[in-house]
Structures are given as structure tokens and as C-alpha cells.
Chain A
Amino acid sequence: MKVAITVNGQETTADVEPRLLLVHYLRDVLGLKATNIGCDTTSCGACTVLLDGESVKSCTVLAAQADGSSVTTLEGLSSGPDDLHPVAAAFRAEHGLQCGFCTPGMVMAAVGLLSENPKPTEREVRDGLEGNLCRCTGYHNIVRAVIAASGQDPDEVTGTSPRPGVERSPAGGVAAAPGFSTGGAE
């Protein structure tokens, strides 16, 4: 069957099996690999994207159900590595990602959260991210990042003291993904 989905502002269309999951449409048909698959029980949220502006788990939506709709993935959020969307920038500033696997889904869930609750409390952030699992960060800095992205002070909102050490933010970043030296991913 044919589906037509606007993804990151671009119209896309393909002939797909009805059972094709939206996450596979994004990853395999369109080649947008940022959105990840972390589980098979709709538990982890690594596959979170925005569907018509609302956060959804793209592993539990058929591409057919998104036909005629508009999807935003992590790739569609920032205009480039040097010009990060405020939520993505906050994740970087607060070290809200380590291995990065949960990150695309986490960032999109955070974007969704803030669109529905622009000035959340710590409790509201934690509850609002209940559908997104992370094994690396312990969530501490993710929560800070979402609070910072909302324009609030993470130290104040979480009641923690500022951590020591001078802050530095190197521009942009290296050209090649670290460690992936010969895979031709560029």
C-alpha cells in the first residue's frame, strides 16, 4: 500500500507492507537512523518522534496510521550541529547524554513535554519522561537539561548546589563520529 508522510518538513511517499512500523519507515525506507529501537514492548521510548506535534512511540504506530500526517524526528529538530535546537543545546550543556542511544527519543519526548507544560517542576519533568528509559545517565542531567531548556535554573528547581569547575563549550565538534573511522558513515 502507498503511504505519504511529511517527515521533517519533506514530503515522502513509498509503497509499504501494511505491517511496516513507522520506526522502520523512518529508519529503513527514509534512511533517518537517529530514531532507535530499544525494546519490543513499547516500554523504552527510544523510538519517540513527534506525530502531528505530539510525542508518540514510533515502534507502536504503523506507517499506515501516519499516512497523511507529519512527523518530526531528531534530525528535523536542529538546523545543524552548530545551531542546536534549545532542547538539544540544553542536553549538551548539561551532559544529558552518554552513549546517546536513548537520546533522540528522550529529546523528542522532552520537546513534547515542554510544548504541553512550558515551565515544569522537577516532579513534572520526571513524570513526563516516565516513558523514556536511560541506562547511562541516571536521569539527573536529563532532568536538568529539560529544566534548563524551559528557561528555568536547574539548580533552583532541583534544589541542588552548583557543581564546581570552570565550564567550557568547544564549538561544533569533530568531523567524524568518534571511533567510527572507516565505516564511511559520512
Chain B
Amino acid sequence: MIPVGFEYVRATSVDEAISLLVEHGEEATLLAGGHSLLPVMKLRLAAPEVLIDIGRLSELSYIRVEGDEIAIGAGTKHRALEASELLAKECPLLPAAAHTVGDPQVRHRGTIGGSLAHGDPASDLPAAVLALGGTIVLRSPRGQRTVPITGFYTGVFSTVRDPDEVIVEVRVPRTGGAGWAYEKFVRRANDWAIVAVAVVDGRIGLANMGPTPLRASAAEAALADGASIEEAAALADQATDPVSDVPATAEYRRHLARVLTKRALTTAAGAAG
């Protein structure tokens, strides 16, 4: 219930946060909304020695159109994504997925950057951004770099982010009238997904079907080849590696991935404008 003690510093800018990361090295962790980090610290499963609070950096909180992409500040809260009229119009998959994260209280604090950095394969936003084919912008003492989401995750809770890097922005395409859907299977409303499927523009992102969010590539290829939704959905669990745990066996997850993909593709086909 009580985290191990730590030092706390508040960064007044992204650049300051980076310097603090450099200064404290491996002992330090960034704190944004804290709703991935603090629960883990309270159970003493993690005990960073320094927390660098970037939760109040307004420079990281924005949603704006940039060409045919939407640029979203990494510090943008799930609530802001959920409520954004701009996103509802330009990239509706993202607010729909954000709406299912946790519960309202969690959404008032959690950020897209924090969620993507945390790398829980059961989380909603990584799967949605993966389906969108988004990119992640990181800044470090070496400058800024952009990593496509497809290359961002390396394993459970593992990303290519260097210890001295800060996620500053997430970019997603404007999806126009492309059909989309988000299907999330849970026991209780505010649970993490047992399995979730994000569909947009013929791309399919899967949550909790492996150590990282995954694309259902075989299903996507089948669709592109003209297969029916039924035929494509039957391939949704190919090349996945789901775990067995309290609510679900691996086999059940595979089944859910196929069913939810079918439903999501059906909804998306109906929604395509």
C-alpha cells in the first residue's frame, strides 16, 4: 500500500526532465499521470529512487492537426482524448479506445505517453495506435527521433525508449471516413482487456495476445486479398502467443481474438463512409 521512499523532483520543461534523467541515471523514472507507475510502486513491485514529475508540463498537452496527421502531446490525458471533438472527427478509433481505459478517475490522470511508455500488452492505447500505424516522437540529449509504433515494443513492459529519453508526442493518421471499431472483452467494465481488437482502415491491432500489442497480419493480408470478414477473422490469432491466467486460457483468448476481430471488421465495414 505504501511505496518505498524516493526523491521527488518536478521538471519545469521537457528539456529539464531530460537533464534530470541524465543526472540520476537508472535510479530515476518519469512520473506523468502515475496510473501505471504508482499502483506498481504501491505494491512494491517497483522502487525507483527518484521520480521526475512531468505531469504538469503544458507543452506536452495538445491535440492538433498537422498535415494528414494528428499530433498529440504525450502528456495528453485519456479524458482529453475521449472528449476531443477533433479526434472524434479525424481519428475516431483513438477516443473510442481511450474511453475504455480504466474508469473516469483513471482517465482524468492517465496520459497517452505514460500508457505507451509503460508497455502493458493488455492496454488499450498501444493496440489502437498500432492499428492506426502511428509514430512516437522521443527526445533525448541526442535530439529528437521518431519511431514507428511497429518497432516500439520489444517485450512485456519493454520498449526501445532509452533511459534518458522522454516521449514527447504521438502522431496518428487522420483516418477520414475509413471504417473503424474497437472491441474490448472484459469481465468487469474497468478491467484490463482479456483481449481487445482495434480495427481501422483494414489494419487490425490486438491487445493481450502476446508480450506486446500485435498486428493480426495474416488476417489483414487475407482481407487485402479479398477474403470475406469471416475468413479473415479466422486468421486473427495467427502468430500470437497469448497467456493463460485467471480469467482466460490461451485457447480462449485465441477464440476471442477471432470473434472480436470478426465483430470489429463487421462494425468497421458498416461504418465506412
Which A residues fall within an 8 A CB radius of B? Answer: 1, 17-19, 21, 37, 40-43, 45, 48, 51, 54-57, 59-62, 64-65, 109, 112-113, 116, 127-128, 130-132
| Residues in B whose Cβ lies below 8 Å from that of A57 | 105-106, 109
Closest B-chain residue to A19, C-beta based? B3
Given A18-B51, A45-B105, A109-B104, CB of A60 within 8 Å of CB of B38: yes
Identify the interface centre among B10, B38, B102: most chain A CB within 10 Å of its CB: B38
Given A62-B8, A130-B190, CB of A56 within 8 Å of CB of B55: no
Interchain CB contact (< 8 A) of B190 among A18, A43, A60: A43
In the complex, whether B27 has a CB less than 8 A from a CB of chain A is: no
| Residues in B whose Cβ lies below 8 Å from that of A54 | 79, 108
Alpha-carbon distance A62/B31, docked complex (angstroms): 10
The contact sample of 8 A-B pairs, CB cut-off 8 A, is: A18-B6, A40-B43, A42-B106, A60-B35, A64-B53, A65-B34, A130-B188, A131-B102
Q: Once A and B bind, how many residue pairs between them come within 8 Å at the CB atom?
A: 83
| Residues in A whose Cβ lies below 8 Å from that of B190 | 43, 130-131
Name the interface residues of B61-92: CB closer than 8 Å to any CB of A.
79
In the complex, whether B246 has a CB less than 8 A from a CB of chain A is: no
Interchain CB contact (< 8 A) of B104 among A21, A42, A59, A128: A128
Identify the interface centre among B8, B51, B53: most chain A CB within 10 Å of its CB: B8
Main secondary structure of the interface of B (DSSP, over half): loop
Q: 4 extra interchain contacts, Cβ-Cβ under 8 A, other than A19-B5, A45-B105, A130-B188?
A: A60-B38, A60-B39, A130-B103, A131-B106
Main secondary structure of the interface of A (DSSP, over half): mixed
- Which 4 A-B residue pairings sit nearest by Cβ, starting from the closest? A131-B103, A18-B8, A130-B189, A54-B108
| Residues in B whose Cβ lies below 8 Å from that of A18 | 5-8, 51
Alpha-carbon distance A48/B93, docked complex (angstroms): 29
Identify the interface centre among B8, B103, B104, B109: most chain A CB within 10 Å of its CB: B104
Chain A min CB distance to B74 (Å): 17
Alpha-carbon distance A64/B34, docked complex (angstroms): 12
Alpha-carbon distance A89/B38, docked complex (angstroms): 34
Name the interface residues of B188-216: CB closer than 8 Å to any CB of A.
188-190
Given A19-B2, A130-B190, CB of A65 within 8 Å of CB of B53: yes
Which B residues fall within an 8 A CB radius of A? Answer: 1-8, 10, 31, 34-35, 38-39, 42-43, 51, 53, 55, 79, 102-106, 108-109, 188-190
Closest B-chain residue to A45, C-beta based? B105
The answer to whether B104 and A60 touch across the interface, beta carbons within 8 angstroms, is no
Alpha-carbon distance A59/B3, docked complex (angstroms): 11
Closest B-chain residue to A64, C-beta based? B8
| Residues in B whose Cβ lies below 8 Å from that of A48 | 105
Alpha-carbon distance A109/B190, docked complex (angstroms): 14
The answer to whether A17 and B5 touch across the interface, beta carbons within 8 angstroms, is yes
| Residues in B whose Cβ lies below 8 Å from that of A42 | 35, 38-39, 106
The answer to whether A109 and B8 touch across the interface, beta carbons within 8 angstroms, is no
Alpha-carbon distance A151/B251, docked complex (angstroms): 48
| Residues in A whose Cβ lies below 8 Å from that of B3 | 19
Identify the interface centre among B10, B55, B105, B188: most chain A CB within 10 Å of its CB: B105
Alpha-carbon distance A127/B190, docked complex (angstroms): 9
Alpha-carbon distance A72/B32, docked complex (angstroms): 22
| Residues in A whose Cβ lies below 8 Å from that of B8 | 1, 18, 62, 64
The answer to whether B104 and A131 touch across the interface, beta carbons within 8 angstroms, is yes
Chain B min CB distance to A23 (Å): 10
| Residues in B whose Cβ lies below 8 Å from that of A113 | 104
The answer to whether B103 and A45 touch across the interface, beta carbons within 8 angstroms, is yes
Chain B min CB distance to A16 (Å): 10
Alpha-carbon distance A60/B38, docked complex (angstroms): 6
| Residues in B whose Cβ lies below 8 Å from that of A45 | 103, 105
The answer to whether A41 and B106 touch across the interface, beta carbons within 8 angstroms, is no
Alpha-carbon distance A76/B207, docked complex (angstroms): 41
